[in-house]
């Protein structure tokens, strides 16, 4: 999936730098990936960053250690950056997202706010009692965020660790919940492009059966969409929407297996004609 994301960036013609934070496990073998990114590992970051991750691990016990490495981005030398998970495909010029950062600490495009906090908290009603009724409406999908880095944000994340210790029965012990609590404690100025007045399309792949639905909604609603996030499942290629994850070399075999005949090929050609893939600075 990492290769598919990078191809969706590079095939747009973008030459801006991409940094890949290795989450551990098997070494990266793709020559294409290695030729396109600056590979960073946990040990490449300063001691301050490593101690910070260790502090997070003390309370975030329900997610793999690699997930916490997204917070290493706050210790890079980029003042503004996009963090993206691997299971994402770019569907627009991400460079334009930086234009929305003026006046904000964090910009995102997702519909986490409609879930009522059920993926982040055991007791979402307690979050509302502490931070106010609208608290859950500022939820973030941590897998794709545009950030204006600051020391204050790191301090707020540290404060969220202490909040987790004080209220162990409220949050689920994963990094997305902690990021949301940090934003509430620090009063982060955030913009969700999926909410009015921007009303961008949902970025969750589960909301679409086939790529044609994305094309139709963009045209009919005159709406924008920044990316597609395949979260919540491991995409195995058994759903038509999964075709966007495949590099060029695997498209024809996929069509032969899941979309036989000219209809599948026409669908793919239509999407390729209408989708533009670009980016600026990205950490994955």
Question: Residue 278's pLDDT is what?
Answer: 37
- 85: three-class secondary structure by DSSP: coil
Domain coordinates in residue numbering, the chain: 2-197, 205-274
Whole-model pTM: value is 0.84
Residue 26's φ and ψ, nearest 5 degrees, are -65, 150
- Give, for 227, the enclosing helix (H) or strand (E): strand 227-229
ω into 197 cis (within 30 of 0): yes
Question: Residue 275's pLDDT is what?
Answer: 42
Rounded to whole angstroms, the Cα distance separating 135 from 129 reads 9
For 112, half-sphere exposure in the C-beta direction (CA atoms, 13 angstrom radius) is: 27
C-alpha distances out from residue 251 to 89, 121, 179, 225, 259, Å: 15, 39, 37, 23, 10
- 28: three-class secondary structure by DSSP: coil
Question: Residue 7's pLDDT is what?
Answer: 85
Task: Report the alpha-carbon angle 236-205-1, nearest 5.
Answer: 45
**Which tokens hold the place of 261?**
């005949």
Which residues, given as ranges, of the chain have pLDDT below 50?
254, 270-271, 273-280
């Amino acid at each position: 999936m990492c290769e598919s994301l990078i191809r969706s960036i590079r095939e747009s013609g973008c030459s801006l730098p991409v940094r890949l934070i290795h989450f551990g496990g098997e070494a990266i073998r793709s020559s294409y990936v290695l030729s396109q990114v600056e590979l960073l590992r946990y040990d490449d970051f300063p001691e301050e960053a490593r101690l910070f991750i260790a502090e997070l691990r003390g309370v975030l016990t329900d997610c793999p250690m690699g997930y916490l490495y997204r917070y290493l981005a706050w210790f890079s030398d980029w003042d503004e950056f996009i963090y993206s998970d691997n299971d994402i495909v770019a569907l627009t010029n991400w460079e334009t997202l930086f234009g929305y950062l003026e006046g904000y600490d964090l910009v995102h495009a997702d519909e986490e706010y409609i879930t009522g906090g059920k993926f982040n908290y055991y007791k979402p009603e307690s979050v509302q009692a502490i931070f106010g009724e609208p608290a859950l409406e500022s939820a973030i999908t941590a897998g794709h965020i545009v950030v204006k880095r600051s020391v204050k944000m790191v301090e707020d994340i540290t404060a969220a660790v202490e909040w987790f210790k004080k209220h162990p029965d409220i949050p689920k012990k994963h990094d997305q919940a902690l990021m949301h609590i940090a934003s509430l404690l620090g009063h982060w100025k955030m913009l969700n492009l999926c909410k009015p007045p921007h009303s961008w399309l949902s970025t969750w792949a589960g909301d679409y059966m086939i790529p044609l639905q994305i094309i139709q909604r963009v045209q009919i609603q005159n709406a924008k969409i920044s990316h597609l996030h395949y979260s919540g499942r491991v995409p195995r290629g058994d759903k038509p929407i999964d075709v966007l994850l495949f590099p060029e070399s695997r498209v024809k075999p996929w069509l032969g297996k899941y979309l036989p005949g000219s209809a599948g090929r026409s669908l793919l050609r239509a999407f390729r004609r209408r989708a533009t893939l670009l980016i600026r600075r990205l950490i994955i």
